[in-house]
A and B are shown apart, each in its own frame.
Chain A
Amino acid sequence: MDERTWPNNNTDVCIRCAACMAVCPVSRVTPLFPGPKQTGPGAQRFRKPGDPSVDEWIDLCIGCRLCDLACSSGVPISELNLIARAKYLDEKKRPLRDWLLTHSYLFSRVASFFSPITNFLFKNRGVRWMADLLLKIDRRRELPVYESPTFRQWFGGHRSTGEKKIAYFYGCYINTNEVDVGKAAVQVLEANGLEVFLPPQECCGLPMLGNGDFEGARKMGLKNVPSLLQAIRSGSEIIFSSTSCGEMIKHEYNRLLAIPGAEEVAPHLFDLFEYLRKLKESGNLNLRLKELPIRAAYFAPCHLRSLGIGLPALDILRLIPGLHIENIDADCCGLGGTFGFKKEKYEISQEIGKDLKEAIDRLNPEAVLTDCEGCRMQIRHLTGLKVLHPVQLLRDALT
């Protein structure tokens, strides 16, 4: 691992106040994970670079970063966990499964091209049993459904027009699995006078980073940053609709991965709804919205919270006439990207999700809205409800 990616050693500023212990979703559901206070600054005081890792529980950190937000002392708890996990997994060696889960971008285009076959296989019980048995990907977890054509292919045949150009980082999942979210984002941006273009892009690398593969994540960053820089230098801002990709590019590329140029990208990178909120504040948001008499509930993904921009989607959705929208009082959906697919972690993921499901049940909505694809997968899995990206609803409200 690159020495530059090591954090400032901030463990001694921890005052042991246990605010992180009040919010950790994993230690709330299982005694197997001692919680952020112990696994982060607590254990860090005993770690020496040359010593073998003994952190057998470190891989249970779900990477939600809620501990970082709770801490009043500025301890980079999740970062300490991530670095300790990288060392632990480097020594223990990662299974093939982790490589497959974090490199889906390599085969997603093929999977999309052959989507009828992919989806048949992914839904097939026998295949899922085999994946469970051989790869330890839990058979109870639905595998993503692939769509064809991809978002990028659709956009190739689409002519975007507007007064001002704006770049869109759509992310892997939108491209091959939830194409409609990308279409909706494009339609909403165009309805606000923006001409959308797609800079060349690869997976942001978050799945790899989350699995402690700093090198793999860094490679993705090194591919994305020059392309994003080019978009910025041509005078455009960049929009993302996946809060996880956005958090990764805006903050982790610079902070954890030290990717040259990331610092220049960050101030020009906006969450889709954060950007719409900016338009609203300057009086430039298209407010011609029709009535949508739906009872919906909004869930703020962990990485949106980590972005520190408030709840912009909720701010904008509240402008849709007739829409009854409530904020879901729960933390973390429990999927944690690839975490919830892994056999040894599936039950922890489900237990965390149970708290979210109960919070949703209390509101009894017709649809759930959330900005993160992982949360959408998990909420569908938990509730069977209709789960959308907020931009899909906003698109439906456009006149």
Chain B
Amino acid sequence: MQYDLIVIGMGLSGLMAARTAAETGRKVLIIGKGMGCLTLFSNTIDLLGKIPGTMELRDGLSQWIKDHPDHPYSKVGLNGVEEGIASFSSLFRSPYSFRAIGDRNSFIPTGAGHRRPTYLIPGTMIAGASCNKALIIGFKGFRDFSAGYVAGPLKWRGTTLSVPSLFNREISATALSRWMERESFRETIARDIRKHLKEESCVGLPAILGIHDPIKVKMDLEEKIGVEVFEIPGLPPSLPGMRIFNRVKEWLIGKGVDFLYGYPVSEISVKEKEVKGIDVHHPPASGFHSADRFILATGRFIGGGLTADRGSVSEPLFHLPVAQPGSREEWFGKSFFDEHPIHRAGILTDSSLRPVDQTEKPLFENVWIAGTMLAGHRCIDEISREGIEIATGYMAAKNAMKQ
């Protein structure tokens, strides 16, 4: 099959690239070796958490673009970032939708017991941003979330409920969230929570309020308990990330996008400066897919978009040059919380997100790069991961489709 576009990478940037191209009626294949990292990192949408909380995001972003000409946001441009974010948000309609509070970063409580800045928040987490005094609820057997650990630093109270049907067993996030979708389970825990509730004006639970209709779960709990309820993002697997993945996947399949995951791209075939197709090896057979354009969005070290050996960082599929610190001694800062130059490693591109060589000439005529594998950002310190993924995924596809 000859596709208009093949997107390699199943994370948020790849999904957004596929969406952007599919929206214009193009024939798209999206392929990933696993299901991407949405269930690892993402609960809310960070855009630029680093700027002061009082600052309007639009102002912060335009200043940032002025100060950081090589940043992915600068290549996408302020309008492009906003269009990308709007395109993402429009996928999620009420009841489970994302929004920002007053175009500023909001500070939501996390599973580590502190508040972190973030921009777009799902409806299930909104109440956490404004709550002054919450009762934090954990569940015995659900080891990924400790109520006391969350409540302590926030000077709140936390309590851990025993679920009778669990005995002494452990329970996974998905199983707990499925129980949460049952009215009878909610009835039981709401009764327990009411007993523990004192002067708190809201209740915080781990982010396990169901997969299909978390807003319904939240509203029903609020009715049963009598105060506002919010979700707190915690350890992987992230169910809010799963909700994002499922929603985009369903949208793409509905649009006729071919959606393949589980097997890595083993080889690319190139003719002069044009990529012709990709080989996907599924032992003992191989499949070949060809396209007019390609977007590489394979992420950083965990996703496999970048790999490192003892001496250097490389990009394993297209063998693109990687901007990186000169030697291994320069990879890491002195202490864990210092800035680590290795995080700045990534693929250099021109202003339209095409990968370039040392002389800044495009290496391929039909390849674009999206997501965190790009050079010029430090998304962990900037608190900008999802914003970069969405904006560059959107813009890479826009640019690719122009050609």
Inter-chain contact A19/B170, CB cutoff 8 Å: no
Shortest Cβ distance from residue B336 to the other chain A in the assembled complex, whole angstroms: 19
Nearest residue, chain B, Cβ from A300: B253
Contacts A31-B141, A71-B34: A17 and B172 contacting too (C-beta < 8 A)? no
Inter-chain contact A22/B237, CB cutoff 8 Å: yes
Inter-chain contact B174/A21, CB cutoff 8 Å: yes
Shortest Cβ distance from residue A310 to the other chain B in the assembled complex, whole angstroms: 5
Interface residues of A in 12-63 (CB under 8 A from B): 15, 17-19, 21-24, 27-32, 34-35
Inter-chain contact B262/A69, CB cutoff 8 Å: yes
Q: Does residue A70 face the partner (Cβ distance < 8 Å to B)?
A: yes
Inter-chain contact A31/B170, CB cutoff 8 Å: yes
Write the B335-370 contact mask toward A (1 if CB under 8 angstroms, else 0): 000000000000000000000000000000000000
Contacts A15-B302, A308-B280, A310-B258: A27 and B175 contacting too (C-beta < 8 A)? yes
List B contacts of A27 (CB < 8 A). Answer: 172, 174-175
Inter-chain contact B284/A263, CB cutoff 8 Å: yes
Q: Does residue A271 face the partner (Cβ distance < 8 Å to B)?
A: no
List A contacts of B171 (CB < 8 A). Answer: 31
Contacts A254-B283, A310-B258: A329 and B39 contacting too (C-beta < 8 A)? no
List B contacts of A71 (CB < 8 A). Answer: 34
In the assembled complex, the Cα of A354 lies from the Cα of B35 at a distance in Å of 24
List A contacts of B283 (CB < 8 A). Answer: 251, 254-255
Q: Does residue B123 face the partner (Cβ distance < 8 Å to A)?
A: no
Contacts A27-B175, A72-B36, A358-B212: A22 and B253 contacting too (C-beta < 8 A)? no
Inter-chain contact A281/B1, CB cutoff 8 Å: yes
Contact of A74 among B33, B36, B178 (CB under 8 A): B33
In the assembled complex, the Cα of A37 lies from the Cα of B1 at a distance in Å of 36
Write the B238-255 contact mask toward A (1 if CB under 8 angstroms, else 0): 110110001000100110
Inter-chain contact B260/A310, CB cutoff 8 Å: yes
Write the A66-92 contact mask toward B (1 if CB under 8 angstroms, else 0): 001111111000000000000000000
Nearest residue, chain A, Cβ from B173: A21
Inter-chain contact A266/B253, CB cutoff 8 Å: no
Interface residues of A in 312-354 (CB under 8 A from B): 314-315, 318, 326-327, 329
In the assembled complex, the Cα of A5 lies from the Cα of B199 at a distance in Å of 62
Q: Does residue B256 face the partner (Cβ distance < 8 Å to A)?
A: yes
In the assembled complex, the Cα of A262 lies from the Cα of B36 at a distance in Å of 31
Nearest residue, chain B, Cβ from A70: B35
In the assembled complex, the Cα of A73 lies from the Cα of B285 at a distance in Å of 20
Q: Does residue B169 face the partner (Cβ distance < 8 Å to A)?
A: yes
Interface residues of B in 214-255 (CB under 8 A from A): 235-239, 241-242, 246, 250, 253-254
Q: Does residue A306 face the partner (Cβ distance < 8 Å to B)?
A: yes
Inter-chain contact B264/A74, CB cutoff 8 Å: yes
Inter-chain contact B256/A318, CB cutoff 8 Å: yes
Inter-chain contact B262/A306, CB cutoff 8 Å: yes
In the assembled complex, the Cα of A120 lies from the Cα of B304 at a distance in Å of 56
Interface residues of B in 1-52 (CB under 8 A from A): 1, 32-37, 39-40
Contacts A72-B33, A281-B1: A254 and B242 contacting too (C-beta < 8 A)? no
List B contacts of A255 (CB < 8 A). Answer: 283-284
Shortest Cβ distance from residue B96 to the other chain A in the assembled complex, whole angstroms: 14
In the assembled complex, the Cα of A327 lies from the Cα of B241 at a distance in Å of 21
List B contacts of A157 (CB < 8 A). Answer: none
Shortest Cβ distance from residue A331 to the other chain B in the assembled complex, whole angstroms: 10
In the assembled complex, the Cα of A277 lies from the Cα of B304 at a distance in Å of 31
Inter-chain contact A266/B174, CB cutoff 8 Å: no
List A contacts of B263 (CB < 8 A). Answer: 308
Inter-chain contact A28/B236, CB cutoff 8 Å: no
Q: Does residue A305 face the partner (Cβ distance < 8 Å to B)?
A: yes
Shortest Cβ distance from residue A110 to the other chain B in the assembled complex, whole angstroms: 36
Inter-chain contact A327/B250, CB cutoff 8 Å: yes
Contact of B253 among A17, A254, A306, A311 (CB under 8 A): A311
Q: Does residue A95 face the partner (Cβ distance < 8 Å to B)?
A: no
Contacts A27-B172, A27-B175, A327-B253: A19 and B35 contacting too (C-beta < 8 A)? yes
Inter-chain contact A21/B237, CB cutoff 8 Å: yes
In the assembled complex, the Cα of A327 lies from the Cα of B235 at a distance in Å of 31
Inter-chain contact A72/B35, CB cutoff 8 Å: yes
List B contacts of A266 (CB < 8 A). Answer: 284-285
Write the A291-309 contact mask toward B (1 if CB under 8 angstroms, else 0): 0000000000000011111
Write the A241-256 contact mask toward B (1 if CB under 8 angstroms, else 0): 0000000001100110
Q: Does residue A283 face the partner (Cβ distance < 8 Å to B)?
A: no
List B contacts of A315 (CB < 8 A). Answer: 256, 258
Question: Which size bracket describes the interface of A in this complex?
Answer: 35 or more
Interface residues of B in 131-164 (CB under 8 A from A): 141
Nearest residue, chain A, Cβ from B280: A308
Q: Does residue B92 face the partner (Cβ distance < 8 Å to A)?
A: no
In the assembled complex, the Cα of A335 lies from the Cα of B70 at a distance in Å of 53
List B contacts of A327 (CB < 8 A). Answer: 250, 253-254
Nearest residue, chain B, Cβ from A72: B34
Inter-chain contact B35/A69, CB cutoff 8 Å: yes
Q: Does residue B107 face the partner (Cβ distance < 8 Å to A)?
A: no
Contact of A18 among B236, B259, B262, B304 (CB under 8 A): B236
Shortest Cβ distance from residue A143 to the other chain B in the assembled complex, whole angstroms: 29
Nearest residue, chain B, Cβ from A269: B285
Inter-chain contact A329/B250, CB cutoff 8 Å: yes
Nearest residue, chain A, Cβ from B40: A17
Q: Does residue A267 face the partner (Cβ distance < 8 Å to B)?
A: yes
Inter-chain contact B166/A251, CB cutoff 8 Å: no
Task: Determine which residue in A22, A27, A327 has the highest number of CB atoms from chain B within 10 A of its CB, and name it.
Answer: A22
List B contacts of A355 (CB < 8 A). Answer: 178
In the assembled complex, the Cα of A62 lies from the Cα of B238 at a distance in Å of 23
Q: Does residue B332 face the partner (Cβ distance < 8 Å to A)?
A: no
Write the A153-193 contact mask toward B (1 if CB under 8 angstroms, else 0): 00000000000000000000000000000000000000000
Q: Does residue B303 face the partner (Cβ distance < 8 Å to A)?
A: yes
Q: Does residue B261 face the partner (Cβ distance < 8 Å to A)?
A: yes
Shortest Cβ distance from residue A55 to the other chain B in the assembled complex, whole angstroms: 16
Inter-chain contact B174/A22, CB cutoff 8 Å: yes
In the assembled complex, the Cα of A262 lies from the Cα of B237 at a distance in Å of 37
In the assembled complex, the Cα of A19 lies from the Cα of B173 at a distance in Å of 12
List A contacts of B304 (CB < 8 A). Answer: 72-73
Q: Does residue B282 face the partner (Cβ distance < 8 Å to A)?
A: yes
Q: Does residue B287 face the partner (Cβ distance < 8 Å to A)?
A: yes
Interface residues of B in 270-306 (CB under 8 A from A): 280, 282-287, 302-304
List A contacts of B258 (CB < 8 A). Answer: 310-311, 315
> 6 A-B Cβ contacts within 8 A?
A18-B235, A19-B34, A21-B172, A73-B34, A311-B253, A311-B258
For the complex with contacts A28-B174, A73-B34, 6 further pairs of A-B residues with Cβ separation under 8 Å are A18-B235, A22-B236, A22-B239, A250-B285, A277-B1, A308-B280
- B-to-A contact residues, CB < 8 Å: 1, 32-37, 39-40, 141, 166, 169-175, 178, 212, 235-239, 241-242, 246, 250, 253-254, 256, 258-264, 280, 282-287, 302-304
- In the A-B complex, the 10 residue pairs with the smallest Cβ-Cβ separation, listed nearest first, are A72-B34, A69-B262, A22-B237, A28-B174, A18-B236, A31-B169, A263-B284, A266-B285, A18-B237, A22-B39
